[in-house]
Amino acid sequence: MKEKIIEVKGLHKAFGKTEVLSGLDLSVTSGSIFALLGPNGAGKTTLIHILSTLVAPDRGTAAVAGYNIASQRNEVKRSISLTGQFAAVDEVLTGAENLRLMCRLAGLSRSQTETRTAELLRQFDLEAAAGKHAGTYSGGMRRRLDLAVSLVISRPVLFLDEPTTGLDTISRRALWEIILQLKNQGMTIFLTTQYLEEADELADTIAVINGGRIVASGTAEELKAQVGGEVIELRDHQDRLLETFPTTGGISDVREAMEQAAARYPGDARISIRKPSMDDVFIALTTNQMEVSR
């Protein structure tokens, strides 16, 4: 059994009178991808800032790579890499110059810097643009460069705060491939995302945060199973979604949902049945439409 590389117990954090985290508990297995889902303002970024020692919690404990975030802050910092929501690269410098600068700041020698820069340019598919100013890069290229910069020194834990926000579909999927490669190299990746498909595609474990606590966690399939066996969709004659009815998949439950649908939409609405999606999970867990264990 793999060890827990991140452990959080009873974490509280408030800003003024607004409580953002209220007794949050979670754990992350070494070498896995852990995705944290939640509505805007749920505390996802605050949690990452606490785990990366940028913000102190009010109460509770947390450890990253075996180090306490309060009493062993320097050890935690040496164990993590962090990429925030917005690319933090120098747009005046070229891609290669950005990497060389960070390598030198990290204490690498000139020869080590050249070797590491070449490795990262190749790994993140930036060799062709190495000599171009970062300000001319597309959003996807800037995001790849930002991630490469954060990985100048390879560390066991990588925090990614909404890494693909604002990227087009092709750039998003290209970054997914890089994230999976990093996992295959043994890195633990903790990411927040607003893209449910992203969590479904990448994560070994998904946790949903709502009201300052984790309201559910598990694999994508485990979370989908909490919503029900089948989802009935009602659409109008123009194929616009009218309403969804989660069910257990049992005959009596499906019949009841069909009767509710017929009562609410006696016209010519069209019915289809599908498996639950991460959208169903997210809506159910963050709008308190179902009972979950806390």
Instruction: Enumerate the domain spans of the chain.
Output: 4-223, 229-275
Give the contacts of 47 (CB within 8 A, at least 6 positions apart).
8, 11, 21, 24, 36, 192, 209
247: number of Cβ within 10 Å: 22
Strands 205-210 and 33-37: parallel
Q: What is the pLDDT of residue 109?
A: 96
Mean pLDDT, residues 79-91 taken together: 85
Mean pLDDT, residues 73-82 taken together: 95
Instruction: Name the one residue in this structure whose structure tokens are 């009493």.
Output: 71
Mean pLDDT, residues 191-203 taken together: 89
Strands 230-235 and 80-83: unpaired
pLDDT tens-digit readout, 177-190: 999 999 999 999 99
Residue 72 DSSP class: -
Question: pLDDT band at 228, cuts 50/70/90?
Answer: low
Asked if the model's pLDDT at residue 285 lies above 80, the reply is no
d(CA 281, CA 290): 10
For the domain covering 4-223, report its CATH number. Answer: 3.40.50.300
Amino acid present at 231: V
Contact 188, 2 (CB under 8 A): no
d(CA 8, CA 130): 40
pLDDT tens-digit readout, 135-172: 999 988 998 999 999 999 989 999 999 888 888 888 88
Question: pLDDT band at 281, cuts 50/70/90?
Answer: confident
pLDDT tens-digit readout, 21-35: 999 999 999 999 999
Question: pLDDT band at 288, cuts 50/70/90?
Answer: low
Report the C-alpha dihedral over residues 164, 167, 168, 173, rounded to 10 degrees.
-30
Asked if the model's pLDDT at residue 292 lies above 50, the reply is no
Q: From edge to edge, which strands make up the β-sheet containing 4-15?
A: 18-29, 4-15, 59-64, 67-68
Mean pLDDT, residues 1-14 taken together: 92
Q: 261: closest CA among 284, 237, 233?
A: 233
